Structure 1
């Protein structure tokens, strides 16, 4: 019998969660950006001190209470523009600098439409944790205006008594940004930086490159241990530009600077790649769905290049006959690699199951659940996309599995399951 406990907490979309984002005129201006930027700055510099003060006070009246460190954000944006235009700040007042910065920012409601598809990993800071407790870090897919997806984070603590405590969200969120060229949209690998004073629970990663322009979707975080024993947090996700998808990799060791790296190879054209948390047999390994229907095991000598893999699992049971995929990176147990899966059945109803792979040879399937371990219940079937439960990554804590999961592409729920009971139903 499956020992599954649902937590009462539920996270929902919230249009009041807004963030101040840099407004990069050059990225939207079809070659007219320099003159447009110069014109805006010139207009502010030509204002009288009194007019500049009135305009800044009007902006602050509208937005200062809605955002954290608003004046500092404006000053940071001014610094970006000043570098672009080689401004001589000596005779520019702080009020005019802040006002210039305000013209190059905008407000965005990043989770107005949906909040879904979380993944969980151990937090990089475990200081002060009592026995039986683990500090965790979750990524979530937040969907805002224009159905643009971004990556949000939440920190919390889980206990061995099936308890979840989320750290409070700060009243204001901040967006990561590049420290680069203001005049062109970044391409290829890009490094983004978290604001020096913001918490992770108040940080959002928005699309940066052209390949990401319509969204960053379904990050699968994993705490990866390299051969030398060093630890890096990696996250596979889908970059979408409105017509094409591309698998990319987030890389960070401190969650202060984060590299967003496009992956190469024929397998990287697909969604939903889940990375093993260490090498197996000297190879990096990934679970993917290269044909949109079945699960494949992919091996590589390079963590950012992935070619075709070998067929691992086909749909077999009624609740997964349409297609199967992974629900996050494999989790290492003494018994083997535990892989959560999602299956799509009749009426495109999504359910979550599990398989156990051999520890030394993950191409060998040891066990598989014949029935879902999680499915949409009557009270949570409705939402942005009905009849869906979906996770991008569970977390082992002692003898239990912590499973955060999306419900109907609209909210996020949480469950704990005994690993022993889960293995027992395979």
Structure 2
């Protein structure tokens, strides 16, 4: 069988150890914490000034507003101070630095990309397209976060990427985020907390409520049910956990796309935000929302979650609900089908599933869409991002795992009106790891979290062995012809 021509662009996105953020570095042992503070307080003011000046010379050029960040970290340990005397700003910054450390976000890997059209196409030449690419960045401790790049598909088909900033900035966490009542109640039922205490907390809240509204209601229920029972304690802890797992992030508009990093916030994702699959979703009224499904990992268990944004500045991070929210690889279709949302998913770590819902946050009743068929995908199959609408059907880029745990990229075509019907699928891989693509943290892997169609060309960014990222192009006509046959 003739292989489909694939053009590999001369672009490689490699991990860069110099892109760092500042994270808290606070000992868990209170005695150690107090000892460190004591050494800082023993310095004279002149000594503190000299130490801070040395720190400024060494680190200021690596961060935006480093002193503001160090003061935030000082605030985290302020309660451990054993002096009532007011401290100078110099000493507060220095103490903050003692409880801080740099973290290289992508020192280990920059991989598993997805790609969507940029919200702004201003200034793009006719026939071109500006895009946003999301990437999974992995650093020390194998903690993953989401980074972004901006690029341009030129009218002649070649691809360029904007320069990447030296600086990286985490967003502000909205202190009083908004929540949706229906989603909260659905999650309570799913977790087995459909009881009088949960109902009492939710009853006075509006359909959309804030964290302060929730805290007030929780406080009232706790006060009215004293002495508290074990069930009350567990229910209120569940409510707080759920609130912590649904949060909002906001970046300053002045930051470039490559300067924005979504780093783990909740305990669910303390060990990483993995494999974000972004899609530009067009609703029936023409409104546009960028969604991304991702896998939250806490070192023991995974939890599929959802990101919503309109501008890549303000993000809402939400838990997904329902019995089908069980595994990695959830990918939302880019529009409703017959009035309902549709999602590809993996339920059993072997087959590819499809499911439908009236609510993008609630998923049940998955059905098998495809099982492994060829040797190169005989261990398991999954998706490589959201389906792409073409005149011939829904194009699904797949991945298959075969002998020696080799990952290849394939493709399938689904019926436009009824995507439970598979029109065709490739017998041979569309893309297999070749040459240096085989070498990396996890050898013999090519993998993607999302592609896009530009004119008559499929743009396919892909990861190489969980280390770096490349971009390929495929003529849509060639791909559809192979799928129809």
- How does the TM-score come out when normalised to structure 2? 0.78
Please list every run of 5 or more consecutive structure 2 residues that lacks an aligned counterpart in the other structure.
81-85, 177-239
Q: Aligned pair 1:336/2:338, yes or no? A: no
Aligned residues: 414
Whole-angstrom distance in 2 between the partners of 1:419 and 1:153: 26
Q: Secondary structure at the match of 1:421?
A: helix
Does the 8 Å contact 1:68/1:171 carry over to 2? no
Q: Aligned pair 1:346/2:403, yes or no? A: yes
Q: Secondary structure at the match of 2:11?
A: coil
Q: Could you say which residue in structure 2 is the equivalent of 1:244?
A: 301
Aligned match of 1:221 in 264, 278, 300? 278
Q: Could you say which residue in structure 1 is the equivalent of 2:11?
A: 9
- Please give the residue correspondences for 1:10-89 in structure 2 after superposition, counting only pairs within 5 Å: 10-21=12-23, 23=24, 25=26, 29=28, 49-74=45-70
Does the 8 Å contact 2:174/2:247 carry over to 1? no
- Using the TM superposition, give the Cα deviation of residue 124 of structure 1 relative to its aligned residue in structure 2, in angstroms: 1.1
Q: Deviation per CA, 1:314-344: give whole Å up to 9, x if none.
A: 1111111111000000111122211100011
Whole-angstrom distance in 1 between the partners of 2:79 and 2:471: 46
- Using the TM superposition, give the Cα deviation of residue 211 of structure 1 relative to its aligned residue in structure 2, in angstroms: 0.8
Q: Deviation per CA, 1:256-295: give whole Å up to 9, x if none.
A: 2211111111221200101011111111110011111111
Whole-angstrom distance in 2 between the partners of 1:379 and 1:146: 25
- Please give the residue correspondences for 1:18-417 in structure 2 after superposition, counting only pairs within 5 Å: 18-21=20-23, 23=24, 25=26, 29=28, 49-74=45-70, 94-96=89-91, 98-99=93-94, 101-103=96-98, 105-180=100-175, 187-417=244-474
- Using the TM superposition, give the Cα deviation of residue 67 of structure 1 relative to its aligned residue in structure 2, in angstroms: 2.5
Q: 1:299 to 1:70 in 2, by over 3 A?
A: same
Higher helix share: 2
Between structure 1 and structure 2, the one with the greater Rg is 2
- Using the TM superposition, give the Cα deviation of residue 238 of structure 1 relative to its aligned residue in structure 2, in angstroms: 0.5
Q: Secondary structure at the match of 1:141?
A: strand
Q: Could you say which residue in structure 1 is the equivalent of 2:210?
A: none
Q: 1:42 to 1:257 in 2, by over 3 A?
A: farther
Q: 1:112 to 1:24 in 2, by over 3 A?
A: closer
Please list every run of 5 or more consecutive structure 1 residues that lacks an aligned counterpart in the other structure.
86-90
Q: 1:99 to 1:257 in 2, by over 3 A?
A: farther
Point out 4+ residue stretches in structure 1 off by more than 3 angstroms.
Answer: 39-49, 71-78, 80-85, 91-105
Q: 1:97 to 1:200 in 2, by over 3 A?
A: farther
Does the 8 Å contact 1:5/1:162 carry over to 2? no
- Using the TM superposition, give the Cα deviation of residue 108 of structure 1 relative to its aligned residue in structure 2, in angstroms: 0.2
**Aligned alpha-carbon RMSD (Å):** 2.9
Does the 8 Å contact 2:378/2:400 carry over to 1? yes
Whole-angstrom distance in 2 between the partners of 1:104 and 1:282: 52
- Using the TM superposition, give the Cα deviation of residue 40 of structure 1 relative to its aligned residue in structure 2, in angstroms: 7.8
Whole-angstrom distance in 1 between the partners of 2:255 and 2:113: 21
- Using the TM superposition, give the Cα deviation of residue 171 of structure 1 relative to its aligned residue in structure 2, in angstroms: 1.2
- Using the TM superposition, give the Cα deviation of residue 3 of structure 1 relative to its aligned residue in structure 2, in angstroms: 3.6
Whole-angstrom distance in 1 between the partners of 2:447 and 2:431: 9
